[in-house]
A and B are shown apart, each in its own frame.
Chain A
Amino acid sequence: MTASNLTASNEAEPNEAEPNEVGQTISRKQLNLDDLRGRLARPGGPAYWRSLDELAGTEEFEAMLHREFPEQASEWSDGVSRRNFLKLMGASLAFGGLSNCTIQPEEKIVPWVRAPENLIPGKPLYYATAMTLGGVGTGVLVESHMGRPTKIEGNPEHPSSLGGTDAITQASILDLYDPDRATAVKNAGRIATWGGFLQNLDQELTLQRSQKGKGLRILTETVGSPTLGQQLSFLLEEFPEARWHQYEPAARDNVRTGAALAFGEPVNTYFDVAKADVILSLDADIFNSGAGSVRYARDYAARRRLRNGESELNRLYVVETSPSSTGSIADHRLALDSAAIEAFALALAGKLGVKLENSPEQPSYDDRAGWIDALAADLRNAGAASLVVVGDQQAPILHALGHAINQSLGNIGTTVHYTDPLEVDPVDESRSMHELVASMLADEVEVLIIVGGNPVFDAPGDLDFTEAMEHVGFRAQLSFYENETSERCHWHVPQSHYLEAWSDIRAYDSTASIVQPLIQPLYNSKSAHELIGAMIGQAGLPIRDILREYWQQETFADDFDEFWVRALHDGLLADMAFDRRRVRLRSPIKISREFGRPRGDDKFELAMRPDPLIWDGRFVNNGWLQETPKPITKLTWDNAALMSPTTAERMGVDNEQVIDLTLPGRSALAPVWIVPGQADGVITVQLGYGRRVTGRVGTGAGFDAGPLRTSAQMWGARDLKVIKTYDRHPLACTQDHHSMEDRHLVRHADLDHYRHHPDFAQHETHESPASLTLYNTNEFSSTTGNAWGMAIDLNACIGCNACAVACQAENNIPIVGKEEVLNGREMAWIRVDRYYTDLDDPEIFHQPMPCQQCENAPCELVCPVGATTHSEEGLNDMAYNRCVGTRYCSNNCPYKVRRFNFFQYADRDTPSLKLQRNPDVTVRSRGVMEKCTYCTQRINAVRITAKKRGTPILDGEIKTACEQACPTEAIVFGNILDAESRVTDWKASSRNYGILTDLNTRPRTTYLARVRNPNPAIDKG
């Protein structure tokens, strides 16, 4: 950005002292809009109008004003005009931020060493920071091009990642550049200034100070930032009577309460999956959701490699209500409703001799599958190398039971560890919210400061937060988007993205990290630290200094500056993690009467889950996540009422048919989606959809399951009634056919069979030997000594889709919208296919499908203009600007990995989105074919460095985006001519096979067959 723009933006920075803003700001009593209009109309009104005009240019600005009106929503129905609309809208909205898009914060932030010390144009820098979700952090590395963060990777040195990431982390970069995010401080819906807000806030706070803050309430999301915690405690010291509440819809209340039940305090529990030989998951999707999942997945997969002659595997049992990533890779999977799961746990505990305070009429578990004995034996044999995990959404007692079982197996200290709580203040959040609403309704609250979150939308259905807000005089909210809650607040302050603001956070194992920003806020947004700071007289104080101050007290490092620099550099604070806690069960767990009580036969069970991609709704406006297929259902752009085929049959409903989910006094309409492997009678719905007020992407997608929650039953109910309707709601599913049709795509065997026939996978289809050809096979042999290849270990893939999102971020892949997905035109370069074996008790298989880079590529042969040809290193190259779009290559691709731009999908106009793009990858135009290139831009980047270095490219030096993102290291890429490379090693494995090789395509991407490790004592089915 040019200097002139910079000055312009500085001008845009509102001048706090500007007199004409006094009195114009609207406090609760008098709200004089006419006056405001008058001021706006007058030439030389408040500064921000002038500067915006300068930046946007009046036409666009007018366009924006016109476009902003909601009736434009009608345009969205039509895919075509919708796109144009989005472009225009985005363009006009993003102008505000353009000015300072490439400025780094004034404070010194430290680049990660593997990249050059100082910025070289065209060379990306990497910075370590951390992403926070639900009060828990994950260490990440962020790639920055000329000061623009463009890509997020896991931080190899951070225990919560070890280099892997999940889909959500990968996609979080898009939020930063979302043209729909809140861009300006607003007062009663009109653009105002931070200064104006502070002024107004001060008036309120002085009032409160006089009464010790009796009427002051702070509502935050789960706070995991120690420094923010300290700031809040200062606040509470200053206002002793004030209250601080925490709430977020996907809070881990049950985990905390469970721990408290077991040990008397809500200690933090984390696992060492790598040490576990036998794992039992009780409805826990530990590998793809919640704290530490990325690390757990990696540790699990590390035990499934079957490398060089190894023939031992760990064993995973999963008992769950609805198929999850974790369940899909289990050696034994059992679908039970939550009551049965509880009964199951009881029975198991009993078998293992866990002491319980059991009530006599406890229902007994009917062990049809004959699991209990075998499982108990297996766990006991594993001794301290076993592990029982309970899902975050399960009842506290079940968690307590889990702790008890782990303790009785002696796992504590080996596979299970305890520390102090990660949260600054581990409260029961639904209760906390309950209290807040109560006091609001009792008119005790005069000032409500909402820091993040969207309670109006996601507060439990039995609490009328909306109504309660009307009882509060002064309501202000800090949030990333303007949402349902912002509508009802006097003031709304845009919240900074985590790449824009300083903070700190603890990871699942309490490792502490500094969240360092890579870019100055694109818009005039503030962080929670700044807001709370402003309330305790830290206004204007750089947050970095507050952080340094806090950690200076914590650490004993003699040279703090060095400690600090290292912390920023590594992305974690050395030895700042909590010490492990030695905890013992106080007394036998008390089992309540309700525990394990089956529901009535006429009732269904409702199971609430956070969406695997949208989470609790905070990512609902993230197009990448919206369009990424859910791991199991492969649905995009929607949530649905998941049920088993049997249940659907019994109910007489069909996919996409809308049903009315009814609980006493509450109900929601939801489209049906039938999921093989779902527990009968259980209907699973995901949170976070059905948003009324958010960006253009998220608004109107899916249905709102929120009303079905109560603060008593946050995660489900067992008295659900279902009423059929005859409406239909189309669901955009990316995979319509679920059977493999005996095509040997995913090859699999049991460990026992594998031991006798290690090469079973290589004999499933007939494959003609490479020598069997009339052609001169040396005509195209590589002269560079490189021949690229990829191997994908199906034993490790959990179908989480991190690779797909990583690819989307790396390769500037556009999203196409729900209508286009329904038309079968999604653009994913790598997709994860999911197959079922049968309907009722299916085995579930995942198969990532990037381009297979065939040596005899059928696609190349048929291109009339030679737009797709073969590089001598074996890449199936695609020359976008040569492509005329006959689509013949796609027809002739047996793997169907080519994608076509049926429209101008890539948004070429929205400036903020341009900032996100990878500068090394073309943005494709309408009418051209595109496809996976093994991240050829990364290959070339490394080729150049290697050339300069004068040595051949090292193994692992090039990582494709999918490979780098994969939490389980299921994908490996490298040089197949290099005998030492990992890919050569993998391809040498007896499990290695290529798919559809009977077509003589000679794919460079091959797969390692999946090997299950079932317990012989349990006969499946």
Chain B
Amino acid sequence: MSEQVTSTRQQYTPPPPELGPGQTSHTSITDKITSIVLTPHTPIQWFIVVFIGLSLVGLLQVSIAYLLYEGIGIWGLNVPIGWGFAIIHFVWWIGIGHAGTLISAILLLFRQKWRTSINRSAEAMTIFAVMCAGMFPLIHTGRPWLAAYWLFPYPNSMGVWPQFRSPLIWDVFAVSTYFTVSLVFWFLGMVPDLASFRDRAQNRVAKVVYGILAMGWRGSAVHWERYEMTSLMLAGLATPLVLSVHSVISLDFAVSILPGWHTTIFPPYFVAGAIYAGFAMVLILVIPLRKLYGLQDFITLRHLENMGKVMLTAGLIVAYGYFMEQFIAWYSANEYEVYMMQNRMFGPYGSFYWALVLCNIIIPQLLWSKRVRRNTVWLMIISIVISVGMWLERFVIVVTSLHADFMPSSWDMFYPTFWDWATYAGTIGFFLLAFFLFVRGMPLIAAHEVRTLLPFGKKGK
């Protein structure tokens, strides 16, 4: 892909810093990446995480079963607060997902070579995050067994169709498209690496399985040509897609007339928020992984630092978003907006708002310092803080806007129940489980792309 252009230009130059000193040849790269999967030995930490994941998934199954049996009432919802944790976490997960596509698509278009070693895991994160997100809109409906298919336009005996003016339908299309495209993009990227797995696997079963997945890829020059072109096309399509998805999500709120939701700043500020949360999550996953599997040569400090920079930028955009909300509320002189803003800051949920400001605006400013950006511990802490902050942001937007809107007589409070939390914890478990299964069974790093980072004339062995 675009790398060849550059790599031919810079033949015989010393290894670019995308790779650590440890990685000198195609062989070593292949060995390192395949060894993570094609080995009987599994680190104990892996088992611990998978165990946690499994138990949380159990909790998730129980919560969903109980929900289907009893109804939405087991959650803390009411009138006026018709949306609660389900929507908060839908937005939260979708946001996290965005980093993956961003890295693999946008950075590809911008020819950021440093992305090659992290894009695969980031894309995997996208897939699983979107899966978690997708669960919520379905189970949060009163009659999920119908929502599952009435939302799609198919000819039916009732002759009725979805209502395409509703942002929720836009969601359905945006999220399902996003998931499909991400999945294809992700799998496509893995095919050449799966071929390596096929060719290295000792164990017969593994050979067959990877053989099937690799679809008979043999690295023919012509194939590479079309393959590269397709990736480029996908990147070009995924870039506007990823921007549209979170914009559409933000329209769920912006299209409504609620003070605190009815805001034109939402689309850009939601996208920025998504990138913000997404990169935080990538770091949260990648920092332990590179330690666990000794990937320091692939995921170098430079990678981490770049991600830190991206977070800082996104964070500043988000901060601007918060400020604009405040400013417009004041500037519009709309009594409902003004009241909403005051209520948001000093009302019953005020503490959430200030916690949000602390997590999303103040603490991340540490990233201005290079020392912090190059310190994995600090990055880890800041990433976690940001993830919490982004959760708070969604909570503040959803709950404080709903609980006190136009009709004082109907104002009420939202108190999440045990099942609200259980469902949330459950999806986190699902995410961990899925991701670590991927780590154990699939190429964690795009080997064929990393190979292109080697100087062109490099010997194979």
Q: State the A residues within 8 Å of B (CB).
A: 80, 735-743, 745, 820, 823-825, 831, 833-835, 847, 849, 858, 861-866, 882-888, 890-892, 894-896, 898-904, 926-929, 996, 999
Contact = CB atoms under 8 A, between A and B. Distances in A.
Contacts of B70: 80, 903
Given A862-B166, A865-B150, A894-B406, A887 B142 contact: yes
Contacts of A895: 406-407
Given A736-B411, A892-B258, A887 B163 contact: no
Instruction: Tell me if B's interface is mostly helix, strand, loop or mixed.
Output: loop
Nearest to A865: B150
Nearest to A892: B256
Interface string B158-195: 10111101111100100000000000000000000000
B409 A737 contact: yes
A926 B142 contact: yes
Nearest to A901: B142
A861 B405 contact: no
B82 interface: yes
Contact of A899 (B77, B79, B162, B339): B79
Nearest to A927: B142
B14 interface: no
A865 B163 contact: yes
Nearest to A820: B73
A883 B142 contact: yes
Closest 5 CB pairs of A and B: A885-B142, A927-B142, A902-B73, A824-B78, A887-B82
B71 interface: yes
A847 B76 CA distance: 28
Contacts of A820: 73
Given A741-B339, A833-B409, A861-B165, A825 B78 contact: yes
A900 B161 CA distance: 23
Contact of B83 (A80, A825, A887, A928): A887
A896 B79 contact: yes
Nearest to B137: A886
A888 B166 contact: yes
B402 interface: yes
Interface of B: 70-73, 76-83, 140-144, 146-147, 150-151, 158, 160-163, 165-169, 172, 252, 255-258, 335, 339, 402, 404-413
Most buried by A among B71, B81, B162, B168: B71
A858 B257 contact: yes
In the complex, which of the residues B73, B76, B143 has the most CB atoms of chain A within 10 Å of its own CB atom? B73
A891 B160 CA distance: 24
A864 B71 contact: no
A898 B143 contact: no
B80 A866 contact: no
Nearest to B256: A892
A740 B411 CA distance: 11
B150 A736 contact: no
A422 B17 CA distance: 103
Given A80-B70, A835-B409, A849-B407, 20 more contacts: A824-B81, A824-B413, A825-B73, A862-B255, A882-B150, A882-B160, A883-B143, A884-B150, A884-B151, A885-B142, A888-B166, A892-B257, A896-B80, A902-B77, A902-B142, A903-B70, A927-B142, A929-B142, A999-B257, A999-B406
Nearest to B407: A896
14 contacts: A735-B410, A740-B408, A823-B76, A824-B80, A833-B409, A862-B168, A864-B151, A884-B141, A884-B142, A886-B147, A896-B405, A903-B73, A904-B71, A926-B143
A858 B407 CA distance: 15
Nearest to B336: A743
A929 B166 CA distance: 16
A882 B141 CA distance: 13
Nearest to B151: A864
Contacts of A894: 257, 405-407
A264 to B, nearest CB: 51
Residue from the set B142, B146, B411, B412 with the largest chain A CB neighbour count within 10 Å = B142
Contact of A885 (B78, B143, B256, B407): B143
Contacts of B147: 884-886
B142 A900 contact: yes
A736 B141 contact: no
Contacts of B72: 885, 887, 900, 902, 927
B141 A737 contact: no
A232 to B, nearest CB: 50
A823 B161 contact: no
Given A865-B151, A890-B82, A896 B166 contact: no
A491 B140 CA distance: 54
A927 B256 contact: no
A855 to B, nearest CB: 15
Contacts of A80: 70
Given A885-B72, A896-B405, A864 B163 contact: yes
B55 to A, nearest CB: 25
Contacts of A883: 142-143
A824 B84 CA distance: 14
Contacts of A866: 160-163
B404 to A, nearest CB: 8
Given A866-B162, A887-B77, A898-B79, A824 B409 contact: no
A928 to B, nearest CB: 6
B142 A890 contact: no
Contacts of A736: 411-413
Contacts of B256: 858, 862, 888, 891-892
B168 A886 contact: yes
Contacts of B81: 824
Contacts of A737: 404, 408-409, 411
A80 B69 CA distance: 11
Contacts of A886: 140-142, 147, 168
Nearest to A824: B78
A890 to B, nearest CB: 5
A567 to B, nearest CB: 45
Q: Which of A745, A824, A885, A891 has the most CB of B within 10 A?
A: A891
Nearest to B74: A80
Contacts of A902: 71-73, 77-78, 142
B79 A928 contact: no
B193 to A, nearest CB: 40
